[in-house]
Amino acid sequence: GQQLNQSPQSMFIQEGEDVSMNCTSSSIFNTWLWYKQDPGEGPVLLIALYKAGELTSNGRLTAQFGITRKDSFLNISASIPSDVGIYFCAGFRDDKIIFGKGTRLHILP
Amino acid sequence: DSGVTQTPKHLITATGQRVTLRCSPRSGDLSVYWYQQSLDQGLQFLIQYYNGEERAKGNILERFSAQQFPDLHSELNLSSLELGDSALYFCASSSASGTVTDTQYFGPGTRLTVL
């Protein structure tokens, strides 16, 4: 079946650093979504992408819908302590949504 | 606080049993979505209801069923429970009638443990 490969699985960074994570698939998707999940809470939608090549920002977050429609990228600039959490990508096609396994972001003091 | 409430917060039960999870959407939201999050499978979309009608189906097992009532709250019924059903079950709601890509507000989840 369709799978999303999200990488890296986890990241340890210093506060203030920029972060990059990505999702790839062998399948084409029509929509890419990026969520963040804090411990003990449900996911929160960060960015939605609807068109190949689209680049969308939400504050310090920027995400791109890959031109091949098989991948997406999320960048976080100037990380701060509240960025800690798990980031999930999700691809949507034919009424089906598939989630990546998540990237766990740790920020070192 | 997303405005979505889920009960119970935790549920511990035995294999073969049946449980019901309850969700109250945000005020005014007509769409309710159910998700399962486990260590093995990650986050999976189960099913969506809009104003009482089933709208979309994901990886929901036949042993599972859901419904949305006239007051818009929803219940997820899990029967013949297996160890592998242990997971966090999330409910989400949105004001849109469209698809799972609409902006959704997630509840805090119900953690189900099957022993």
Q: For residue range A50-75, list pLDDT tens digits in order.
A: 999 999 999 999 999 999 999 999 99
DSSP structure string for B6-20 = EE-SEEEE-TT--EE
Task: Please give the residue of chain A at the shortest CA–CA distance from B107.
Answer: A42
- Is the pLDDT assigned to residue A1 strictly greater than 70? no
Q: Which stretches of chain B score pLDDT less than 50?
A: none
Site from A45, A86, A88, A92 to mutate, B interface, most B CB atoms within 10 angstroms: A45
In angstroms, what separates the C-alpha of B82 from chain A's closest C-alpha? 22
Asked if B113 and B51 count as a contact pair (C-beta separation under 8 A), the reply is: no
Tokens, residue B61: 């097992």
Tokens, residue A62: 């920027």
DSSP letter for B72, please: S
Find how far residue A105's CA is from the centre of its chain.
Answer: 11
Up-side HSE of residue A2: CA atoms within 13 Å toward CB? 23
Q: How many CB atoms lie within 10 A of CB B74?
A: 25
What does the pLDDT average to over A38-55? 92
Q: Does A109 touch chain B (CB under 8 A)?
A: no
Does A97 contact B106 at a Cβ distance shorter than 8 Å? no
Reported as a pLDDT band with limits 50, 70 and 90, residue A3 is confident
Give the pLDDT score at B12. Answer: 98
Lowest mean pLDDT among A23-27, A28-32, A91-95: A91-95
List the single residue in B44, B101, B103 with the smallest CB-CB distance to A99. Answer: B44
Asked if B86 and A36 count as a contact pair (C-beta separation under 8 A), the reply is: no
Q: Does B42 touch chain A (CB under 8 A)?
A: yes
Number of alpha helices (DSSP H) and beta strands (DSSP E) in chain A? 0, 11
Task: Please give the residue of chain B at the shortest CA–CA distance from A88.
Answer: B43
Task: Please give the residue of chain B at the shortest CA–CA distance from A49.
Answer: B101
Does A31 contact B101 at a Cβ distance shorter than 8 Å? yes
Contacts of B40 (CB under 8 A, 6+ apart): B84
User: What single letter denotes the amino acid at residue B27?
Assistant: S
What does the pLDDT average to over A23-36? 95
Site from A34, A58, A97 to mutate, B interface, most B CB atoms within 10 angstroms: A97
Q: Exposed e or buried b for every residue in B46-72, given b needs 16+ CB within 10 A?
A: bbbbbeeeebbebbbeeebebebeeeb
